[in-house]
Structures are given as C-alpha cells and as structure tokens.
C-alpha cells in the first residue's frame, strides 16, 4: 500500500491508496450512454451539443447533454409510479449496494411476458437474494435491431411482479436486460407491474442492463445513480465486483 498525508479541515490524516496490481476486479453491467441509445417506444433520445471546442478555438472542451432520465441503463425509484413514493435523491449510496445477487436465464422473445410459473420453480434461490437479475436474451437486438429492442421488448406480467413483491421480502431490487419491465405491446400491464413492485415500499427496478457477459464470480453489485433532486428516477452506472 502507498501512504500519503492530506490536510482536511486542518487535521492531518493518512490516506491509503491501493497499488495498481491490487485494485478490485470489476466489470460493467450498464450500457454507455450515446446519441444512438435506444429509447422506450422510440421516445426522444440523447442530444449532445458542443459549448466550447479546442479544435474551434475554444479554451477547453465542454458540452451540453440532454436526455430523458429513463434513457439507457437507469434505476426506477418508487416515485416513478407512486406519487407518495421516495425520489431517487432521497436515498443514500448505501441503498444501492447489493451483496447477494442472483441471475436467472429466462429466454423470452418479442413481447412475451415473464409470468409466475417462470419464477416459482426458482423461489428457493430467489428468497436468499437482495437483487434479482433476469436475463431474457433480448439484449442481442439492442445494437443490431434497436427498433425491435425499443418496441417489441419482453416484459414482466402484472401478476409476476405482484408475486415477486409478495413472496420475496429480502429482495430490494430487480434488474433486466430489456429496455423496460413494461412490454411496449402490453403497456397497461407493464404499468401495473411497475406499481406492484414500487408502490408503498423501498424498491428499485434497474432497466436496460448489460447482462450478456455476466460473470460467474460476481460478489457484490453497485448500482450508482445520478443523485438529481426533483426527479423520480435516474440513469445509473452498474458495477459488479468479482469475488
């Protein structure tokens, strides 16, 4: 370890820095935001506008970015579907650390729904988890056919979401490799699925995750949102620490 000293509020304290070779092994489970990031049901995408550019005589590079708070990998907080629910900025970073992740493969095709029977046979394992990741395989269309990914996505049925909320009290979050848990072709059922998971409780839904190369040796998952005040939910960076 490398030791350095820093002054903070007049008090000398020792800072320990990790040697490069001993850095934690991590991998991303979220997608990078870009102007071509698919938007749910072909909604508005991301816009990037240069404010200053060195190549055009500016003193530095600076940009304005504009996008929906539900674009790309993002975390839905309770206020997304519960007017009395907490907003994303009311939580602390400790709320987004998950030490018992579970991933299940539930292959689904266009507009198919994850139902109770898909989950019941895995109940004994799910009840031990604090975050449940559902990999449908539909992520394979995200780059090669973004229109299909954004408009024909699988989702979670309202009864499936109610079953999750009722049966697994230790779960604090669910994550999916689809653009939303709401299938575009089943919008009202998707809205009810959101309400069943988010209403009257502290719970998170992480949508549009990158689960294609999910490692087998995941230890903890950190889903770090932008803590923006005044909004329901926010884009997030999801990091898996490898055991």
Domain extent for 77: 27-242
pLDDT above 90 for 44: yes
User: What is the pLDDT at residue 144?
Assistant: 98
Per-residue pLDDT reduced to its tens digit, 109-146? 999 999 999 999 999 999 999 999 999 999 999 999 99
Alpha-carbon distance of 214 to 232, in angstroms, equals 28
Q: Is residue 5 part of a domain?
A: no
User: What is the pLDDT at residue 95?
Assistant: 98
pLDDT above 70 for 161: yes
Q: Is residue 55 part of a domain?
A: yes
Instruction: Check which CATH number belongs to the domain holding 185 and give it.
Output: 3.50.30.50
Q: How many CA atoms lie within 13 A of 240 on its CB side?
A: 23
Pairing outcome for strands 155-156 and 113-114: parallel
Q: What mean pLDDT, rounded, does the chain reach? A: 93
pLDDT above 70 for 18: no
User: What is the pLDDT at residue 110?
Assistant: 98
Separation of CA 96 from chain center: 10
Separation of CA 138 from chain center: 16
Q: Is residue 170 part of a domain?
A: yes
Q: Whose structure tokens read 């919008």?
A: 187
pLDDT above 80 for 6: no
Q: Is residue 157 part of a domain?
A: yes
Mean pLDDT confidence for 60-89: 98
**Total domain count, the chain:** 1
pLDDT above 80 for 7: no
């Amino acid at each position: 370890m490398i030791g350095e000293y820093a002054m903070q509020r007049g008090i000398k304290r020792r800072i320990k820095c990790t040697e490069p070779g001993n850095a934690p092994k991590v991998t991303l489970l979220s997608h990078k935001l870009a102007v071509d990031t698919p938007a749910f049901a072909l909604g508005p995408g991301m816009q990037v506008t240069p404010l200053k550019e060195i190549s055009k005589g500016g003193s530095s590079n600076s940009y304005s970015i504009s996008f929906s708070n539900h674009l790309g990998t993002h975390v839905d907080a309770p206020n997304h579907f519960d007017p009395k629910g907490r907003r994303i900025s009311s939580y602390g970073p400790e709320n987004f650390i998950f030490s018992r992740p579970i991933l299940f493969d539930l292959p689904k095709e266009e507009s198919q729904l994850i139902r109770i029977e898909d989950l019941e046979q895995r109940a004994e394992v799910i009840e031990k988890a604090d975050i449940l990741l559902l990999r449908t395989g539909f992520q394979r269309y995200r780059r090669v056919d973004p229109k299909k990914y954004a408009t024909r996505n699988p989702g979670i049925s309202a009864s499936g979401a109610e079953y999750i909320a009722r049966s697994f009290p230790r779960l604090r979050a669910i994550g999916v490799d689809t653009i939303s848990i709401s299938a575009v072709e089943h919008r009202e059922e998707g809205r009810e699925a959101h309400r069943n998971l988010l209403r009257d409780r502290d719970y998170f839904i992480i949508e549009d995750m990158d689960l294609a190369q999910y490692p087998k040796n995941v230890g903890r998952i950190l889903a770090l949102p932008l803590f923006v005040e005044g909004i329901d939910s926010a884009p997030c960076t999801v990091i898996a620490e490898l055991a």
